[in-house]
Amino acid sequence: MSLGIRPAGHGENPSITFYEAVGGHDTFVKLVDAFYRGVEDDPVLKPMYPEEDLGPAKERLTLFLEQYWGGPTTYSENRGHPRLRMRHAPFHVNPDARDRWLRHMRAAVDELGLSPLHEATLWDYLQRAAMAMVNTFEPTPEP
């Protein structure tokens, strides 16, 4: 996905991808690692991950975000079309889960220190994606 973004000091190439503009792989690894630090201790979100080790989930999210923002297409090569709604359908994603997801992601985005334009662009997408994953308005089940 080329956004035609040319951040100051980043050369004269008008077709640089968002992925490249924000620092590529290292930036998305940092984002995902920071996000999952929050998820690790979240009593609503953590049970949604079947693996005790969050490593596979981290890898999937990193690959997805990299591909979405114009980086390598490894996600689709390994997993096919993202089909985010379908992949999240088995989970109880209500407004509480969405808000928790956004809270951890907001903290992770803040750690990146992106330019205001890049931060706003990324945050806008993350909010829209989180809203789209809500699949129930039933309260979070008690453990």
94 vs 82: which has the higher pLDDT: 94
pLDDT reported for residue 1? 43
pLDDT tens, 118-143?
A: 999 999 999 999 999 999 999 987 76
Q: Which of 71, 102, 88 is nearest to 136 (CA)?
A: 88
Its domain, for residue 36, covers 24-133
Looking at residue 142, the DSSP 8-state letter turns out to be P
Residue 2 lies in a domain: no
120 within domain boundaries = yes
pLDDT digits (tens, 9 = 90+) for 72-86: 999 988 888 878 877
44-62 burial code (b ≥16 CB/10 A, e <16): bbeebeeeeebeebbebbb
Are 132 and 85 spatial neighbours (Cβ–Cβ below 8 Å)?
yes
> Tell me, what's the pLDDT at 84?
80
Average confidence (pLDDT) over 100-116? 98
In a domain, 19, yes or no: no
Residue 128 within a domain:
yes
Residue 123 domain flag = yes
Let me know if residue 36 belongs to a domain. Answer: yes
The helix (H) or strand (E) run that includes residue 4 is none
How many domains is the chain partitioned into structurally?
Answer: 1
Confidence category of residue 11, pLDDT binned at 50, 70, 90: very low
In a domain, 8, yes or no: no
Q: What is the CATH number of the domain that holds 88?
A: 1.10.490.10
